[in-house]
Amino acid sequence: MNKLNELQQDILTEAFNLGMGSAAASLSEIVRSEISLSVPNLTFIDKHTAAERLSQNTDSDLSGVSEGFTGPFCGKALLLFPAEQSLELVRLMLQDSVPLESLTAFEEEALNEIGNIILNAGLGSLADMFGSRIETEIPTYTHGSTKEIFEAQNSANSLHDVVLFLQVDFLIKESDINGFVVYLLDVDSMKDLTNLLDVYLSKIS
Amino acid sequence: MPNTTVLVVDDSKVSRMMITAIIKDQRSDWTIIEAGCGDDAIEASKDKAIDLCIIDYNMPGMDGLELATKLKESFPSTPMSLLTANVQESTKEKAEAIGVRFTRKPITDERVTSILDLVS
Amino acid sequence: MKQHSSINNIEILDSIIDQTVHGLIVLDAELKIQYWNQWMESRSGIYSYEVINQSIDHVFANSNLIRIKGALRNAIDKGHSASLSQSFSDFKLGLYNNKQKTLEIIPQIAISPLKDSSKLCLMQITDVSAAVTRERLLKSIANEAHLGKEAAENLSQLKSSFVATVSHELRTPLTSMIGSLGLLKGGVVGDFNDAQSNLLNIAYRNSELLLSLINSILDLEKIESGTIEFNFKNISINDLLEQATSGMAGYGEQVDINFTLTLLKDDLTVYGDYDKLLQVLNNLLSNAAKFSQKGQTVKLYAKQIKHFVRIGVEDKGQGIPEAFKSTIYDKFTQLESQDNRNANGTGLGLAIAKLIVEKHNGKIDFKSVIGKGTTFYVDIPTASEINIKNIQKNIQTG
């Protein structure tokens, strides 16, 4: 019940591809630079392992934005950058010098806003593909090690630790800023998700 | 007269399914060659006459534009289009620069048909 | 359905919303206002009866609403929430006092769909004017501090290159002088009478002193600015001590001081720069000799204290006066020795020694009693992983 078959996985990956394409376009306009995206990587793992997998890409602390979503499936979407790069990004966006070594509250809010735009674009595309409505919560700024960040993502809808972990790496080419978009889907909503995928599959076959 | 042959390249099986379904529906006599990545596409199109290429951009290994550039060497006059979720201006510009059409995903009948119409 | 409380009474809930210290506005699918809380009333000077069922355009007629309306539409149509920071939105809310508009507040706005079936959305407004002002002030202070720091660093760099250039320029002619005087003194170009020899010796000695001073200044400057190269590796303490005493043997004979050595029973290893540590020991040993009387003994020993090795240089000489104790590591501080043997010192030896020891994560200290003697201690941590890592970090940060 926890696993998706090959076709279902394919559709979900394509759906997120679309979402990320949209999101990258938004981000590209904001930072006035080309964005390169990795192919989405989809797995079923517990949050602990998910955190470890992400921390393989970077061993510094991460800064970013977390946004809960509900709809045909529920979970958390996160946009994360290695901490110093988040400073870079804010400088880029605000075209401002950031003399302090960490983000002030308002720079955090600026990051929040960007994250919000990007994650909403991603989830919006996803919703469009399935003809559904995905509601998102007001995003919150998050910071810490990958473990700390993931642990903080408690979903009110699920008591289980296992999540559908989807990771897309992206790179802002001109400023060499790299980040990750992570979707943590509640396993409780798996049944709803697989139904949705099957419906979609039957529509296109 | 040999059948019109279309090369469809996308790492998503489902996407290929959708595209081929539309092609079969709109052009039932056309031959379709599928590939899941750049290398497979080049292999599959060797020594064949390809009349149209429909290519995804974000793929593992070679990206869609790299593939298109390579294919153009063997098929200089064959019309080609990207069919992609990567909707950044920069990608569009790059495609136009090498004479490749740019079509956005999601995959719909109209969008695929507009690509098929490139083959006169 | 979530149940946050047991309160169902509409009046109480209304009261809660009215006492909220943020603006709460509810809008419908046509972006008409359906709820306008008390905070909004008092801040804007507009009463809720004036705005209910009015379009948002009508209410905030003078404001740039493009982003806000976009976000509201997204909330209603797609169910997306938005966080509009004051950095990107230039929406300002008029602040009223008795219907007289006094100033505008800078708001932070959060927009979210209301989870019900009637397609409503919620707009929350927080007054962040004070915080923004504070932040801007903080930023300008930080900017200035940053510029100040840059200026200081530039100055330090200028100083370093100045010192290096000057020292080089001074050393070259001085080396020539010493060379020539040495040849003269050595009788290579002829003999001199006693009076002439005496003058030559004075000239030679002082030239050497001057060169030594210039080298010490350069050394000190390099260590302080972190541009000196330290060559760290594992060193045997017994080795170091033996080298120090054998190096001092000639000098000891010259000034009639006896150097003794007590090695460690079980040798210890430290992670350090051999030459620099030797420099420190030589400095301590020659100081000890200068402040001892002829015929006295200067002891060099080492012992283990937990995870440190303590190297001690002990003399029975004149001791260090109380007044001097606090300034002894300062540059150019020199104590006068009883028979003026310290006249050849530069006053920089201990300053350099202290810096070297600290670069090894160690400590230098002394105990002294007037007329009885002085013992200098150098404590260095024994070689261990943590220590090595710390030292390497130390070097990098200069």
Chain A residues inside the 8 Å CB shell of C114: none
pTM of the model: 0.60
Total domains in chain C come to 3
Q: What is the pLDDT of residue B2?
A: 66
Q: Which of C173, C193, C228 is the last residue before a domain boundary?
A: C228
CB contact under 8 A, A21 and B13: no
Q: What is the DSSP letter of A40?
A: P
Same domain, C385 and C264: yes
In a domain, C284, yes or no: yes
Same domain, C238 and C386: yes
- CA angle (A89, A93, A98) in 5-degree steps: 65
In a domain, C1, yes or no: no
Q: Is the separation of the CB atoms in B58 and A37 below 8 Å?
A: yes
Q: What are phi and psi of A199, to 5 degrees?
A: -60, -45
Chain A residues inside the 8 Å CB shell of C82: 113, 116, 120, 138
Same domain, C256 and C140: no
Residue of A nearest to B107 (CA): A129
Same domain, C108 and C152: no
User: pLDDT tens digits for A113-126?
Assistant: 888 888 888 888 88
| Residue C146 domain boundaries | 131-228
Same domain, C220 and C251: no
Burial class of residue A84 in the structure, from the number of CB atoms within 10 Å of its CB (0-12 exposed, 13-18 middle, 19+ buried): middle
Tell how strand A62-70 and strand A75-82 pair up. Answer: antiparallel
CB contact under 8 A, B84 and A204: no
Chain A residues inside the 8 Å CB shell of B9: none
In a domain, A90, yes or no: yes
Q: Kindly tell me whether chain A and chain C come into contact, counting contact as 3+ Cβ pairs under 8 Å.
A: yes
Q: What is the pLDDT of residue A156?
A: 47
Average pLDDT of the residues in A167-194: 81
In a domain, A85, yes or no: yes
Q: What is the pLDDT of residue C89?
A: 61
User: Quick check: A1 contacting C, CB < 8 Å?
Assistant: no
- The CATH number of the domain where A56 resides is what? 3.40.1550.10
C324 band by pLDDT with thresholds 50, 70 and 90: confident
CB contact under 8 A, A104 and C135: yes
In a domain, A109, yes or no: yes
Quick check: C91 pLDDT over 70?
no
Give the residue from A18, A32, A171, A202 with the most B CB atoms within 10 Å of its CB, the best one to mutate. A18
In chain A, where does DSSP find H-type helix? Answer: 6-31, 47-55, 83-94, 105-130, 146-152, 190-204
Q: What is the pLDDT of residue C25?
A: 94
A157 band by pLDDT with thresholds 50, 70 and 90: very low
Q: How many residues does chain B have?
A: 120
Residue found by looking up tokens 């995928």 in the block: A197
- Partnered with residue A65 across adjacent β-strands are A79, A141
Q: Kindly tell me whether chain B and chain A come into contact, counting contact as 3+ Cβ pairs under 8 Å.
A: yes
Same domain, C115 and C138: no
Give me C133's structure tokens. Answer: 């002002």
Q: Is the separation of the CB atoms in C101 and C94 below 8 Å?
A: yes
Q: What is the pLDDT of residue C57?
A: 85
Q: Is the separation of the CB atoms in A109 and C83 below 8 Å?
A: yes
Asked if the bond preceding B76 is cis, omega within 30° of 0, the reply is no
Gap between the Cα atoms of A55 and A147, Å rounded: 8
How many CB contacts within 8 angstroms connect chain A with chain C? 76
In a domain, C222, yes or no: yes
- What average pLDDT does the structure give for chain C? 84
Residue C153 or residue B57, greater confidence: B57
Chain C residues inside the 8 Å CB shell of A134: 78-79
In a domain, A110, yes or no: yes
Q: What is the DSSP letter of A174?
A: G
User: pLDDT tens digits for B14-69?
Assistant: 899 999 999 999 999 999 999 999 999 999 999 899 999 999 998 888 999 999 99
Q: Which of C369, C212, C178 is CA-nearest to residue C282? A: C212
Same domain, C252 and C370: yes
CB contact under 8 A, B18 and A204: yes
User: pLDDT tens digits for A16-58?
Assistant: 888 888 888 888 877 778 888 887 888 877 777 878 888 777 7
A159 band by pLDDT with thresholds 50, 70 and 90: very low
User: pLDDT tens digits for C194-239?
Assistant: 999 999 999 998 998 888 888 888 888 777 777 778 888 999 999 9
- Partnered with residue C236 across adjacent β-strands are C269
Q: What are phi and psi of A137, to 5 degrees?
A: -95, 165
Q: Which of C228, C246, C271 is the last residue before a domain boundary?
A: C228
Region of poorest pLDDT, from A100-104, B63-67, C76-80, C355-359: A100-104
In a domain, C46, yes or no: yes
Give me B100's structure tokens. Answer: 């490749």
Q: What is the pLDDT of residue A169?
A: 84
Total domains in chain A come to 1
User: Quick check: A100 contacting C, CB < 8 Å?
Assistant: yes
Q: What is the ipTM of this complex?
A: 0.78
Quick check: C243 pLDDT over 80?
yes
Chain C residues inside the 8 Å CB shell of A74: none
In a domain, A104, yes or no: yes
Chain B residues inside the 8 Å CB shell of A129: 106
C146 band by pLDDT with thresholds 50, 70 and 90: confident
Chain A residues inside the 8 Å CB shell of B90: 28, 34
Same domain, C253 and C384: yes
User: pLDDT tens digits for C249-295?
Assistant: 888 888 899 999 999 888 989 999 999 999 999 999 999 998 888 89
In a domain, A1, yes or no: no
| Residue A111 domain boundaries | 6-204
Same domain, C297 and C252: yes
Q: What are phi and psi of A173, to 5 degrees?
A: -60, -50
Gap between the Cα atoms of A115 and A90, Å rounded: 11
CB contact under 8 A, C84 and A120: no
Number of Cα atoms under 13 Å in the Cβ half of residue C279: 20
- The CATH number of the domain where C220 resides is what? 1.20.58
Gap between the Cα atoms of C207 and C131, Å rounded: 65
What is the SS3 assignment for chain C?
Answer: CCCCCCCCCHHHHHHHHHHCCCEEEEECCCCEEEEECHHHHHHHCCCHHHHCCCEHHHHCCCCCCHHHHHHHHHHHHHCCCEEECCCCCCCCEEEEECCEEEEEECEEEEEEECCCCCCCEEEEEEECHHHHHHHHHHHHHHHHHHHHHHHHHHHHHHHHHHHHHHHHHHHHHHHHHHHHHHHHHCCCCCCCCHHHHHHHHHHHHHHHHHHHHHHHHHHHHHHHHCCCCCCEEEEEHHHHHHHHHHHHHHHHHHHCCEEEEECCCCCCEEEEEHHHHHHHHHHHHHHHHHCCCCCCEEEEEEEEECCEEEEEEEECCCCCCHHHCCCCCCCCCCCCCCCCHHHHCCCCHHHHHHHHHHHCCCEEEEEEECCCEEEEEEEEEECCHHHHHHHHHHHHHC
Same domain, C213 and C262: no
**B98-to-B66, B94, C181, C242 alpha-carbon distances in Å:** 10, 7, 80, 76
Partner residue opposite A135 with nearest CB, options C2, C79, C143:
C79
The radius of gyration computed from the CA coordinates of chain C, to the nearest angstrom, equals 39
In a domain, C2, yes or no: no
Q: What is the DSSP letter of A176?
A: T
Quick check: C307 pLDDT over 50?
yes
Residue of A nearest to B94 (CA): A34
Amino acid identity for residue C269 in this structure: T
Same domain, C45 and C155: no
Q: What is the pLDDT of residue C95?
A: 61
In a domain, C176, yes or no: yes
Q: What is the pLDDT of residue C299?
A: 94
In a domain, C55, yes or no: yes
- Calculate what percentage of chain C has a pLDDT beyond 90: 33
CB contact under 8 A, A123 and C80: yes
Q: Which of A122, A112, A121, A137 is CA-nearest to residue A168? A: A122
| Torsion sign, CA atoms C358, C362, C368, C372 | negative
Give me C366's structure tokens. Answer: 């002394």
Using CA atoms in the order C185, C188, C194, C197, what is the torsion angle rounded to 10 degrees? Answer: -20
Give me A20's structure tokens. Answer: 């990320």
Chain B residues inside the 8 Å CB shell of A28: 88-90
In a domain, A133, yes or no: yes
- What average pLDDT does the structure give for chain A? 80
Task: Please provide the DSSP assignment of A83-132 as one string.
Answer: HHHHHHHHHHHHT----SSS--HHHHHHHHHHHHHHHHHHHHHHHHHHT-
Q: What is the pLDDT of residue C1?
A: 42
Residue of B nearest to A14 (CA): B12
Name the helix (H) or strand (E) containing B113.
helix B109-116
Chain A residues inside the 8 Å CB shell of B106: 18, 128-129
Amino acid identity for residue A111 in this structure: L
User: pLDDT tens digits for A2-20?
Assistant: 578 888 888 888 888 888 8
Average pLDDT of the residues in C132-148: 80
What are B's interface residues with A at a Cβ cutoff of 8 A? 11-15, 17-18, 21, 58-60, 84-91, 105-106
Q: Which of C203, C202, C172, C211 is CA-nearest to residue C346? A: C211
Q: Which of C163, C270, C263, C260 is CA-nearest to residue C218? A: C163
Quick check: A105 pLDDT over 80?
no
Q: What is the pLDDT of residue A37?
A: 84
Q: Which of C228, C246, C270 is the last residue before a domain boundary?
A: C228
Partner residue opposite A106 with nearest CB, options C83, C87, C143:
C87
Q: What are phi and psi of C388, to 5 degrees?
A: -60, -45
Partner residue opposite C108 with nearest CB, options A100, A109, A123:
A109
Q: What is the pLDDT of residue A158?
A: 39
CB contact under 8 A, A28 and B13: no
Residue found by looking up tokens 């009478």 in the block: C193
Gap between the Cα atoms of A117 and A23, Å rounded: 8
Burial C156-188 (b: 16+ CB within 10 A, else e): eeeebeebeeebeebeeebeebbeebeebeeee
Chain A residues inside the 8 Å CB shell of C135: 104-106
Q: Is the separation of the CB atoms in A27 and A131 below 8 Å?
A: no
Gap between the Cα atoms of B41 and B72, Å rounded: 13
Same domain, C201 and C267: no
Residue B102 or residue C222, greater confidence: B102
In a domain, A130, yes or no: yes
Partner residue opposite B14 with nearest CB, options A10, A25, A39:
A10
Longest dimension (CA), chain C: 118
Quick check: C343 pLDDT over 80?
no
**C150-to-B16, C56, C141 alpha-carbon distances in Å:** 58, 49, 14
